[in-house]
Amino acid sequence: MISILKHYGKCDELTYRYIPFTVAEYIERIEVTYSYLRHRITPTPQGQKREEVNIIDLGLLDQAGELCGWSGSQLLSIHVAESSSTPGYRRAPIKGGTWHLILGIYKVQDEVEVTVTITQVEKRRRSFKGDLHMHTVNSDGVYTTAEVIQLAKSTGLDFIALTDHNNTEQNKEIGNPEHITVIPAIEYTNYKGHANFYFPDDGIFTVNPLSNTGEEFSHFVASAKARGALMCFNHPFDACCPWLLGFEAPGELVEVWNGFPKPSDLEAIAWWHDQLCAGRRLVAVGGSDTHRIEQGRSWGNPTTHIHARSSGRHDLLEALREGRVSISAAPDAAILNLAIGSAGLGESERYREGLEGIITIEGAKMGDEVILYSDDGEEERFTAEFAGVVHLPFPVKDRRFYRVELYRFTLGMRLLNALTNPVYLSGAVESRSMKVVGSEMESGVRVSLVSSE
């Protein structure tokens, strides 16, 4: 926190005064408050005389010298961040460097003392929940962009992505919603497969997605990548619209869980596991693919949890790219986490003798079944002995990665309720063979998502 005391006199009236201050790296939010004597109260025989004697306006320049906002003398406290800002102030990632507070000395009676306090809130990793696949009336959804945003907020989601088919018009309609981050996106929709692209910018993207040839598809992907977009293979083994364009495309993500868990999701999870075993670090995500509320499909079913530095769009996408992600069946379902040594999801830890890992379940129910997998197949099974927060430690072996799935009996069915992305290990024995045969694994990693037990 920085406290600044300034004095201005009559000679400063009708000028702008710039106060430099240094902003550190990894700042999520800047808060500014200021105070001064604006009104003088003078007792009189008839009562109290209230006189406006000083007026000081407030504004802010960012590290590039561009106007971040101006509130005049209306507000004595403002804040700026990527995810939310005081009205009149631009939302954007906070970049380190020299910023400037602007004090507009509009009126000074004689002399005025202005006290300014600047607080920089550092970023800290925490979990944000959202839905990375949903549609509006701009393609084949039944809700407007504003309605989708409001419905997602009412569900308790921290972020969503608007993924209309071959369209980015919805991204023009995002506006400036409070208390939720909206990631501009598009669902590339071809007769041979679907893929989401998530943009770090405004997402207004008009490159033709209607591809007849591999060259046209490659041009679309390259154009989106040039904008910094992340690519996600959507529901790749769905019976109606599987991905048939080849997995050589530079996708960073794969949607292994689309809506209610079903056999095609099982196949996607098994294929993703094979890719991990082969050394490809694809990040598993989920998405509801909601077009309308219907049985087994609504906002946040499933929910993708991103462990990010903030809820800002850039931080969410960065953490998504890094694989700091888990998935659960709903916003209020169990949340799985996995740590090995000091490494969390998406991170790497060097293997050593005596290394330990720990699985954490938030919102566990008694009887939940937890399965620990590695590149060597199924490693261990656990059963939650009570409801609440459950910790399950395990010894770490010489493996390339570990990941976790959780199953729960619901309505008489054994259903996938949560899964994590891997924690990776370095220094593992590279000569160890990988047991992968097609989309099945000899280790028996495929477990039913739904059964009638």
47 pLDDT higher than 80? yes
Interval 67-96: pLDDT, tens: 999 999 999 999 999 988 999 999 889 999
CATH 3.20.20.140 domain locations along the chain: 126-441
Which tokens sit at 211? 């591809």
2-121 is classed CATH 2.60.120.380: yes
pLDDT level of residue 442 (50, 70, 90 thresholds): very low
What's the confidence (pLDDT) of residue 314?
94
Interval 216-257: pLDDT, tens: 999 999 999 999 999 999 999 999 999 999 999 999 999 999
pLDDT level of residue 411 (50, 70, 90 thresholds): confident
39 pLDDT higher than 90? yes
**Euclidean distance between CA atoms 144 and 141, whole angstroms:** 8
Which tokens sit at 57? 């306006």
367 pLDDT higher than 80? yes
Region 189-205: what's the mean pLDDT?
97
Structural fold of domain 126-441: TIM Barrel (3.20.20)
Interval 111-164: pLDDT, tens: 999 999 999 999 999 999 999 999 999 999 999 999 999 999 999 999 999 999
Q: What is the largest CA-CA distance in the chain?
A: 96
What's the confidence (pLDDT) of residue 429?
54
Which tokens sit at 9? 């006199």
pLDDT level of residue 448 (50, 70, 90 thresholds): very low
Please compute, for residue 30, the number of CA atoms within 13 A of its CA located in the half-sphere on the CB side. 32
Q: Which residue has the tokens 């790296």?
A: 25
**What amino acid is encoded at 210 in this protein?**
L
Q: Percentage of the chain surpassing pLDDT 70? A: 94
Average pLDDT, the chain: 93
441 pLDDT higher than 50? no
Interval 417-430: pLDDT, tens: 999 999 999 986 54
**For 191-218, b where at least 16 C-beta lie within 10 A, e where not — what string?**
eebbbbbbbbeebebeeebebeeeeebe
What's the confidence (pLDDT) of residue 246?
94
Higher-pLDDT residue of 153 and 436 is 153
Which tokens sit at 166? 């071959």
CATH 2.60.120.380 domain locations along the chain: 2-121
